[in-house]
Structure 1
Amino acid sequence: THIFGKFKFQSKQGSIEDYELGDLIGKGAYGEVFQAVHKETGKNYAIKVYDRYQMTQANKLKSINNEIKIIRRLDHPNLVKLFSVHETVTNIYLVMELVTGVPLSDYIKQK
């Protein structure tokens, strides 16, 4: 079952298979963020990968759905853009703008 309605694994937005995952650039309680390259365009992205099993066990699927709704509605140059959402049986993928530089947590510690 796809919890995000129109955001299917195979969609008009392409497939998660269109991306080559690279280095791990972040990690949280329920997922990881990887640098990725779109195979056809060569553009760089950040892909947040949520483990569907862990999210289901922690009753967090609703939280991800809310995160997606909020990010899609916001459009500001200082906020990361969400380009597409893809699902497989095991994972949920958020294809997002890649922001380079110092991690925000490190920047805050320096101040």
Structure 2
Amino acid sequence: MSDGSGKGTRGEAEGRIGDYLVGRTIGEGTFNKVKIARHLHSQEQVAIKLIDKSKIVSPADRQRLAKELKILRKVRHPNIIQLLEILEDSRYYYLVTEYASRGELFDHIVSREKLSEF
């Protein structure tokens, strides 16, 4: 993992993380927040999942995180969000992924009750 020193960051890592300019929160979970960001050089829009290290305390939590990272590093499919980079600093792990502008899959499924396999 490389260092996402967060130079120039404010509050909950808003501002800059590594080579990314971080914007608003677009999602939230038990251990994390997801923020929209833009790569400073390529201008590519990405999502950054901020995982608060202080909330990952139990062995089960650490195992779940390790498993998630292992899977994300391996998965390569056009219909699955791609992990681009992992950064960290003393407070957070930052998972940089492709940005899906159309929202969360769960919300899409709920709104339609079911999806076709085709």
Equivalent residue, structure 2, for 1:3: none
2:3–2:89 CA contact under 8 A, matched in 1: yes
Could you list the runs of 5+ residues in structure 2 that have no partner in the other structure?
Answer: 5-15, 113-118
Alignment-mate amino acid for residue 55 of structure 1: I
Q: Per-residue displacement from partner, 1:7-37 (whole Å, max 9, x unpaired)? A: 1316xxxx93211111111100000000000
Q: Distance in 2 between matches of 1:110 and 1:54?
A: 31
Equivalent residue, structure 2, for 1:28: 29
Greater RCO, 1 or 2 (C-alpha within 8 Å, sep 6+): 1
Could you list the runs of 5+ residues in structure 1 that have no partner in the other structure?
Answer: 1-6
For these two proteins, the number of residue pairs brought into alignment is: 101
Q: Distance in 2 between matches of 1:21 and 1:87?
A: 15
Q: Distance in 2 between matches of 1:17 and 1:34?
A: 14
Change (3 A) 1:8 1:62: farther
Q: Distance in 2 between matches of 1:9 and 1:60?
A: 22
Equivalent residue, structure 1, for 2:111: 110
Equivalent residue, structure 2, for 1:81: 82
Q: Identity over the aligned pairs, expressed in percent?
A: 30
TM-score, normalization by structure 2: 0.77
Q: Per-residue displacement from partner, 1:71-94 (whole Å, max 9, x unpaired)? A: 111111111100111110110000
What secondary structure, in the 3-state scheme, does the structure 2 residue paired with 1:33 have?
Answer: strand
Show structure 1 runs of 4+ deviating over 4 A.
none
1:46–1:97 CA contact under 8 A, matched in 2: yes
TM-score, normalization by structure 1: 0.81
